[in-house]
Structure 1
């Protein structure tokens, strides 16, 4: 497994500074657009490559002879002797049907060796990238490369090939806005953060962006409303593979809301905490809101102070609040919040002159221990000079 990584990556890196020749010498060598926006007018790759692009060929692969157990030297030699085009050999090895597993396929290394041998024989510098684009199309290839980056075995070769593809996009003036649309990152899907195109866009924006500098959060903020983006991030935090990214983006969103003086009452709704009475006290988003509320109060000491009890009552009313308290959250933090809300609610009722019977009846104190607890709080607040 390590041999595969070292062989392919080493060969790619060693070829970075060689001179190139035009693809025009190859029969039917036109390169179609990598990411079809409009099949008739918007191609993202030219029909020929510059010297720098052509330099992405292969020199002799270290350990290349090891592949003979998979594809015999005899067969490769036969192809080379008859001057089989590298595209044809790619197809003969059935790499055109390998799909997402292309870069894990041992035959890919055999083909890479053939590309190098072919170049040496013909004093050419054919790159792997044009063939890959022709066979899979630029958009599918870019997704394949991104997925290949997730495995240690194929990370190196995928990273390098992806970088070469992005250099082509940059030379063509492909904007980050257009790339965002190509990968359908603006379609409003709640599982947006799982789209592999998002990582592709992020790398392109960070390393190859031909236009004005931007960040993923700025682009998402520009594309989606506060509420829509919040929903995307909430969804992303429930998926292990996107949880960290979603949390980072949500922190940036909270910072933006603080900077624009977004009231905690509004943020409560933006986090969709007004839409889930059954589990709101156990919701991770409620913890997020509590953090935001504390930060807002600290940053704006003279602003109206929002409290959890007031915000819950405003959005749910007393009946729903009581129902929440009867269905306690499963988490320790949720139970802690529920106890605090219950205490505040009892204090409100005492302050409003409600009787003990009213309080115990509302809270449904069926067990002796629960009844004793509620009665104790009731009398405690009753003895206070003011229950406010």
Structure 2
């Protein structure tokens, strides 16, 4: 079961469904030594492959619910593994998204949720989105991007949040 152009449809495949059921049965038999579905799928597809599969599944009405559930589990998996925001940013391929549209990219919202979940789990080691973004944008370019995003309804809330974080460090 390799990833193909129709990645989202893989979630509908009987083989995929069997794989999920198998892991769920294992977990039911051994609740203390449970294996997460996400860790099993990550071992099979890799970090980036599983993320692409989930994102493609979210875009398909027939697989949206399952993909959304897997996405939430994937975020928690990253949090438990204490995967750094920079690493998650790259797994989500946000480092290659067109810079002018990054804040409107659905993956960016998911990444922001991850950073929030990470901070909730590790309040003694809080992190911010800003250092990662500054790896890809100059201060000026990031300020301009946020400024433009603040007037667009779909990106206004994330832009406001970033603006607050930027003002705290600069």
TM exceeds 0.5?
A: yes
Residues 263, 195 of structure 1: CA spacing in aligned structure 2 closer, same or farther, 3 A cutoff? same
Residues 342, 295 of structure 1: CA spacing in aligned structure 2 closer, same or farther, 3 A cutoff? closer
Residues 340, 293 of structure 1: CA spacing in aligned structure 2 closer, same or farther, 3 A cutoff? closer
Q: How does 1:1-388 map to 2 (within 5 A)?
A: 185=1, 187-189=2-4, 190-191=7-8, 192-203=10-21, 216-276=37-97, 277-303=99-125, 305-318=126-139, 320-321=141-142, 324-325=145-146, 328=149, 332-342=153-163, 347=167, 388=170
- Aligned residue pairs total 159
Residues 329, 273 of structure 1: CA spacing in aligned structure 2 closer, same or farther, 3 A cutoff? farther
**Cα distance in 2, alignment partners of residues 214 and 339 from structure 1:** 39
**Cα distance in 2, alignment partners of residues 244 and 331 from structure 1:** 28
Which structure has the highest helix share of the two?
2
**Cα distance in 1, alignment partners of residues 120 and 165 from structure 2:** 22
Kept in 2, the 8 Å contact 1:282–1:331? The answer is: no
Deviation at 1:341, TM superposition (A): 3.5
**Cα distance in 1, alignment partners of residues 110 and 155 from structure 2:** 13
**Cα distance in 2, alignment partners of residues 297 and 202 from structure 1:** 29
**Cα distance in 1, alignment partners of residues 14 and 143 from structure 2:** 44
Deviation at 1:215, TM superposition (A): 6.4
Residues 293, 201 of structure 1: CA spacing in aligned structure 2 closer, same or farther, 3 A cutoff? closer
Kept in 1, the 8 Å contact 2:150–2:160? The answer is: no
TM-score by length of 1: 0.35
Residues 256, 197 of structure 1: CA spacing in aligned structure 2 closer, same or farther, 3 A cutoff? same
**Cα distance in 2, alignment partners of residues 333 and 248 from structure 1:** 23
Deviation at 1:216, TM superposition (A): 4.4
**Cα distance in 1, alignment partners of residues 87 and 40 from structure 2:** 22
**Cα distance in 2, alignment partners of residues 252 and 214 from structure 1:** 12
**Cα distance in 2, alignment partners of residues 336 and 234 from structure 1:** 22
Q: Which runs of 5+ in 1 are unaligned?
A: 1-184, 349-386
Structure with more relative contact order (C-alpha pairs < 8 Å, separation 6 or more): 2
TM-score by length of 2: 0.72
**Cα distance in 2, alignment partners of residues 227 and 297 from structure 1:** 23
Kept in 2, the 8 Å contact 1:193–1:236? The answer is: yes
What SS does the corresponding residue of 1:274 show, helix, strand or coil?
helix
Q: C-alpha root-mean-square deviation of aligned residues, in Å? A: 3.3
